[in-house]
Amino acid sequence: MTDTLLVKNGTVVTLGEPNRVLENHSVLCEKGAIKKIGRAAEFKGRYKRTVDASGKVVLPGFINAHMHFYSTMARGLSKAAPSKDFNEVLKNLWWRLDKKLNPDDCYYSALVPMLDAIRHGTTTLIDHHASPFAVRGSLSRIAQAVAKTGLRASLCYEISDRDGRKVAQDGLDENIEFIRVCEEEKNNHLKALVGLHASFTVGDETLKKAAEAGHKLGAGFHVHTAEAATDQEHCLKQHGVRVVERFRRAGILGPKTICAHCVHLNEHEMDTLSETGTAVAHNPQSNMNNAVGVADILWMFRKGVLVGLGTDAMTVNMCEEVRAALWVHRLATNNPSVGFTEALSALLFNNSDIANRYFDPKVGELREGYAADIVCIDYRPPTPFDSRTFLGHFAFGLAHAPVDTTICGGRVLMQKKKLTLDIDEEEVAAKSRELAARLWERF
């Protein structure tokens, strides 16, 4: 009996191409990967661990394509001045908060949402971090939280000139060092990108240095792109081109790069993202919250842009985010018949395509050889349930059904709605409150 895990007797939804819905099937996992998917009756052996998925839908773990762990420490903070636009939101809240973060804040602000992610079946998160006066070592502290929870994450530090040349260089050095560590360790639970804040806070010299470092290391980039109209206005005024074109000329676009938001793009910019194979992370709830607009992902899909779904730290519940995406595109277009396929595909199919540019074994699909990242959701379909009806069931049923079990790399992180980790949640929450209170005093 090897290190095996059998998830048995469930309705298995594989996702991928083709997406299969397999009633009364089991998934055998071995050494962190999926070894076999078959009818429940086929599995007669003895297995080290078993999870009974009777009455549950078995899916790949969800993926978050754009996250900010450190935003946890802002929850309930009321000291920021009211803001009339997105730039004021940054100046009054986020750029004040991130300057006050210390290494312990970085660790606990990551640990808390990752525990919440487990409860919502999210097993892979692509994060974008900032702590300008605690830059060096910050990614390692977050990586400790990733290891503690057993989840997967891709991390980066957002390089920016907004806090001066030294901080920008620290950010570049932090990315370089962490990318090298990830390469040396070859840990499939931890990957790295070169982080950049946004065009309007990154000067030409810094952008050039970051591009050179990323190319030398063979790494991709993770950057906020045209989140607000002011990003485009600044770029045109300072550089004579639009944001995507500036990034193309700098050499940071490509299949390993994620451009987050992309709310204010024209058709040429969408064509450029498509031609370069650059991924887009759509964050609808954040865009609504900051009143910056609605990214036209319907047009991006038609252009062949790989559009995934992130949350920008509004939540780690990807089911909540995907429903918001669907509703906002129907409202924005005044058309109740659009956005269904695009919104759901962003989460259920495209996020895995994005993540699999970095992770190996691959994630986001239940298939032999893929990572054993599995979620079991309590759901008994009230209408016919198969590959043709699955998306409708997901949007209007599964997305608000409770997650019972979360597995990552063959490790059971939650079962019967209880975390199985050696983590005292009360202690974590208490420590986070203590740190947050001190942070707010410094704010």
Q: Starting from the edge strand earliest in sequence, which strands make up the sheet with 62-67, in order?
A: 62-67, 122-127, 152-155, 190-192
pLDDT at 2: 65
Could you tell me if 69 and 313 are in contact, meaning their C-beta atoms sit under 8 angstroms apart? yes
pLDDT at 44: 86
Q: What is the DSSP code (8-state) at residue 338?
A: S
CATH topology of domain 62-355: TIM Barrel (3.20.20)
Q: Inter-axis angle of helices 243-250 and 267-276, to 10 degrees? A: 30
Would you call 78 exposed, middle or buried from its count of C-beta atoms within 10 A (0-12, 13-18, 19+)?
exposed
256 three-state secondary structure: coil
Cα gap 386→78, rounded to integer Å: 47
pLDDT at 353: 98
* DSSP result, 385-408: -STTTHHHHHHHTGGGSPEEEEEE
Where do the structural domains in the chain lie, given as residue ranges?
A: 4-61+364-419, 62-355
Could you tell me if 201 and 160 are in contact, meaning their C-beta atoms sit under 8 angstroms apart? yes
Cα gap 174→153, rounded to integer Å: 17
pLDDT at 10: 98
> What beta strand segments (E) does 68-207 contain?
122-127, 152-155, 158-159, 190-192, 194-198
Global pTM value = 0.98
Could you tell me if 350 and 332 are in contact, meaning their C-beta atoms sit under 8 angstroms apart? no
**In the block, residue with structure tokens 């500036």:** 246
Listed residue (370, 361, 404, 408) closest to 10, CA to CA: 404
**In the block, residue with structure tokens 């992770």:** 359
Cα gap 443→193, rounded to integer Å: 29
Which residues, in sequence order, are CB contacts of 247 under 8 Å at separation 6+? Answer: 199, 223, 225, 253, 259
Torsion of CA 187, 188, 193, 195, to 10 degrees: -90
Would you call 420 exposed, middle or buried from its count of C-beta atoms within 10 A (0-12, 13-18, 19+)?
middle
Listed residue (352, 418, 368, 384) closest to 11, CA to CA: 384
Amino acid at 169: Q
pLDDT at 324: 98
pLDDT tens string, the chain, 443 residues long: the values are 468 999 999 999 999 999 999 999 999 999 999 999 999 999 988 898 999 999 999 999 999 999 999 999 999 999 999 999 999 999 999 999 999 999 999 999 999 999 999 999 999 999 999 999 999 999 999 999 999 999 999 999 999 999 999 999 999 999 999 999 999 999 999 999 999 999 999 999 999 999 999 999 999 999 999 999 999 999 999 999 999 999 999 999 999 999 999 999 999 999 999 999 999 999 999 999 999 999 999 999 999 999 999 999 999 999 999 999 999 999 999 999 999 999 999 999 999 999 999 999 999 999 999 999 999 999 999 999 999 999 999 999 999 999 999 999 999 999 999 999 999 999 999 999 999 999 999 99
Cα gap 99→9, rounded to integer Å: 50
Cis ω before 361 (30° cut-off from 0): yes
Could you tell me if 223 and 196 are in contact, meaning their C-beta atoms sit under 8 angstroms apart? yes
* Centroid of chain to Cα 257: 13
Superfamily classification of domain 4-61+364-419: Urease, subunit C, domain 1 (2.30.40.10)
Could you tell me if 322 and 347 are in contact, meaning their C-beta atoms sit under 8 angstroms apart? yes
Cα dist from 330 to 161, 241, 335, 363, 400, whole Å: 38, 31, 5, 30, 20
Cα dist from 348 to 120, 175, 378, 437, whole Å: 15, 29, 18, 38
pLDDT at 355: 98
